Amino acid sequence: MQLPIEWLPAAGAPEQLILLLHGVGADGDAMTLLAQALRAEFPQAALIAPDGPHPFDAGGPGHPGRQWFSVVGITEANRAARVAAALALLVPWVRQMQNQLRVGPAATAIAGFSQGAILALETALREDGLAGRVLAFGGRFAAPPSTAPRQTTVHLFHGGADAVIPAWHARAAIEALAALQGDATIDIAEGVGHELHPVLVQRALYRLRHHIPARTWAAALGAVPDRARDEDDD
């Protein structure tokens, strides 16, 4: 995959690895705002934003964007299979980046917007522990989860006025993860649409800095804590 954004620490080895997955019809450059904010907050992190592996097939002439999977003819019945096919390429690449930069899964975060958020969320379910954190902006699960990750914390960020992937998907996801004793948070910005809005970016920085994963509490206390639902509407 091409890497339009590949920012490494100015000095020293990376302490974190943050992978940024763009939405359908866009490319890695579309994650610049988020990448800049993360770089300022975590200067020792390696930030990688690849282009999706396939040309965008729904835009027509003059729309040279990329995609992780096709949305042409997509339905609730076939979405999960398309996402699984995309993950078959994405997961080995994530491990390759971890090995190349010598950053382990616990110090890895996968952040995605829209279609990229769908992939990020599905890595948490299908490859629990591939990353310590998943940050999903304006995304959804391919299908309602039947299990919750134990080694990955899920952070959901959504615009309350999102007309592409409505915010009820995020609310349903947090309810499902809470019922399954998953470790997750949710932030909904009212009046914000389907975008990487600065308000949501700031909430992501806050969550990365201040949310202590449930597994960390469990290790410290020697017991499995109750996973609390953590919601914020801005």
Which of the residues are catalytic? Answer: 114, 162, 194
CA distances from 230 to 124, 125, 128, 233 (A): 18, 19, 21, 10
Cβ neighbors of 83 (< 8 A, separation 6 or more) are: 69, 118, 119, 122, 142
Find the DSSP H helices in the chain.
32-41, 79-101, 115-126, 168-179, 198-210, 214-221
Say if CB 171 and CB 231 are below 8 A apart. Answer: no
Say if CB 9 and CB 37 are below 8 A apart. Answer: no
Cβ neighbors of 109 (< 8 A, separation 6 or more) are: 16, 17, 18, 19, 131, 132, 133, 134, 135, 208
Cα–Cα distance between 35 and 18 in angstroms, integer? 9
Burial class (CB in 10 A: 0-12, 13-18, 19+), 160: middle
